[in-house]
Each structure stands twice: as C-alpha cells, then as structure tokens.
C-alpha cells in the first residue's frame, strides 16, 4: 500500500505527497538512465551509416537466420556432439562448484559456524561474485591458456561464490528448534548438519543447483568462442564471424534455444516434484 505524507508549508498550506522515499529514488534513477541513454545516442559516430540500407540488410539477415536455417560446414551429428560438449562444461562446473560450495556454506551460515569465520568467507565469496564470470574465464585463459580448462575454472569460481550465498541463506532459515532438538540428543556438529540441516534444505539446494546449471550453460555457449572452450558456442562464432553463414547461425541458435527450453521443462518438473505447493 502506498504511503501518504502530509507537510505543512510556511504559509499555512498543507502539501500532500504520496509514495515513499524508495519510490522516489527509483523514479529518479530511471529518469537519469533514460536521459543518459538519449545523450549516448548523440555521441555515436554515424559517419557512413545509411539507415535505410542497414534496416533492409538486418531484416534480410534475420529472415535468413530464422526462416531458412541449415547446416553448411558440419553435419547434424557433429552439431549434437558440440551441444553435448557445452552441456558437459556447464555440468562439470556446476557439480564441482556445488560440492565445494556446500562445505563452504556450512562455514558461512551464522547458525552453524563462528561469526568471525562466516564474515571471512562471506567477504571472500562476495569479492569473487562481484567479478563477472566472463572476466574470471579470461583471467584463467591467460593463466592456464585458452581451452576448456579456463572455461570450467572461470565458471567454477563464480558458481562457488553464487551457491555459497544461496546455500548459506537456506541453512540460516532452518528452524532453530530442529537444531536444538538434535543437540539435545547429544548430536555433534556433523549430526546437526546431517539430521537437522540437510533434510530441511535439500529441495532448496537442488533448485539452486539446477538454476546455476542453466546459467552455466549460457555462459559455456559464450565462452566457447571467447576462451576457445569449443562446443556449440565456438561453432556459432565461426559461422557468424568467419564464414558469415546466416543459415548456419540460425540453425545453431535454434539448437541452443531447444536445449534451453528442455532445461526449463526439467526445472519445472523438478519444482512440481519437490515444491508442489508453490508450482501452481
């Protein structure tokens, strides 16, 4: 419900203002961003630009991409294989990241670890999370060389930081009564985790892991070209930049969209299986 503020001016008149401070900050931010967007267009270099020709060529390329998809430089079997490589990169980074993040998040949860330790881990993962995944991949590409290793390490780093935050917050939501009940029976720290924390948070952990897998699949597609990781992303880069084959670009784009759709279907089924009350 929107708040209403009444302010009396010096001349005795009453000024009524609706909304709150957060709403005003949001409107101001959107207004500034809109102005900056228009200003940015004014500073573009439009030399040699023929707007009519550009629109026509763009429309033609889009028509060829999405209505005439075809493979020219490799076959369907190779395309499926490359999609499998991309999925494997995302899967590897997600699974290893989830395992490491699970143990780190136990030490980052304030109800399971000392406050000093939780602060150290949270600051560390916040720093990692603040750096974009693409930049981590490029950093490891410089250190370890271009290839799938750099892509997996970069996605792994960011996945750990992302999942530590998600897992630790889920652990902190566990009912204190459950933890006290395990402690009262003589259970040690690991018994509390195994018998009190995991049963209460397993479905949330699974949901976060699958969400991160979807994110890593998109990153793996992009890193196929940027870090030389291979997979369908590298073929997309070659088709668009090297061969300039719009039909092949369209086919690869459809393949990526189909995989993304299937991942979303699996995610929805998992939610219905483990969260039947919230999936309606």
Of 235, 206, 232, whose CA–CA distance to 219 is shortest?
232
Q: Name which residue leads in pLDDT, 96 or 144.
A: 96
174/167 Cα distance (integer angstroms): 11
Distance CA 129, CA 123 (A): 10
Over residues 127-140, the pLDDT tens digits come to 988 888 888 888 88
Q: Where are the domains of the chain?
A: 4-42, 74-274
CA 245 to chain centroid, in Å, comes to 29
Please determine, looking at this structure, whether the domain spanning 74-274 carries the CATH number 1.10.3720.10.
yes
> Does residue 74 or residue 88 have the better pLDDT?
88
Query: Distances from the Cα of 129 to the Cαs of 187, 197, 276, in angstroms?
Result: 34, 25, 31
Distance CA 276, CA 269 (A): 10
Q: What's the confidence (pLDDT) of residue 280?
A: 45
**pLDDT (tens digit, 9 = 90+) per residue, 230-263?**
788 888 888 888 888 889 999 999 999 999 899 8
Measured CA to CA in angstroms, residue 206 lies from 153, 158, 190, 253 at distances of 22, 18, 20, 28
Per-residue pLDDT averaged across 151-178, rounded? 89
Query: Which contiguous run of DSSP H or E holds residue 248?
Result: helix 246-274
Q: In terms of Cα–Cα distance, which of 90, 79, 81 is closest to 255?
A: 79
The strand ranges marked E within 4-130 are 4-8, 14-18
């Amino acid at each position: 419900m929107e708040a209403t503020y009444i302010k009396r001016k010096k001349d005795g008149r009453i000024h009524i203002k609706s909304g709150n401070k957060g709403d005003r900050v949001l409107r101001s931010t959107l207004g500034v961003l809109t102005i900056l967007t228009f200003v940015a267009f004014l500073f573009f270099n439009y030399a040699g630009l023929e707007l009519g020709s550009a629109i026509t060529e763009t429309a033609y390329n889009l028509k060829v991409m999405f209505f005439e998809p075809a493979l020219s430089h490799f076959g369907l079997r190779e395309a499926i294989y490359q999609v499998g490589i991309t999925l494997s990169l995302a899967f590897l980074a997600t699974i290893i990241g989830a395992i490491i993040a699970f143990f780190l998040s136990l030490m980052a949860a304030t109800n399971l670890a000392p406050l000093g330790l939780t602060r150290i881990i949270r600051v560390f993962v916040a720093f990692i999370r603040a750096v974009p995944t693409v930049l981590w991949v490029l950093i490891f590409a410089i250190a370890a060389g271009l290839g799938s290793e750099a892509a997996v390490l970069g996605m792994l780093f960011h996945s750990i930081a992302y999942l530590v935050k998600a897992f630790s917050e889920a652990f902190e939501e566990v009912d204190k009564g459950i933890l006290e009940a395990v402690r009262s029976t003589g259970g040690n720290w690991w018994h509390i985790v195994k018998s009190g924390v995991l049963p209460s948070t397993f479905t949330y952990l699974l949901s976060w892991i699958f969400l991160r897998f979807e994110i890593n699949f998109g990153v793996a597609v992009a890193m196929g070209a940027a870090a030389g990781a291979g997979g369908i992303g590298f073929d997309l880069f070659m088709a668009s930049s090297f061969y300039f084959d719009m039909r092949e670009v369209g086919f690869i784009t459809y393949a990526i969209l189909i995989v993304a759709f299937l991942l979303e279907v699996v995610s929805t089924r998992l939610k219905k299986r483990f969260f039947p009350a919230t999936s309606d």
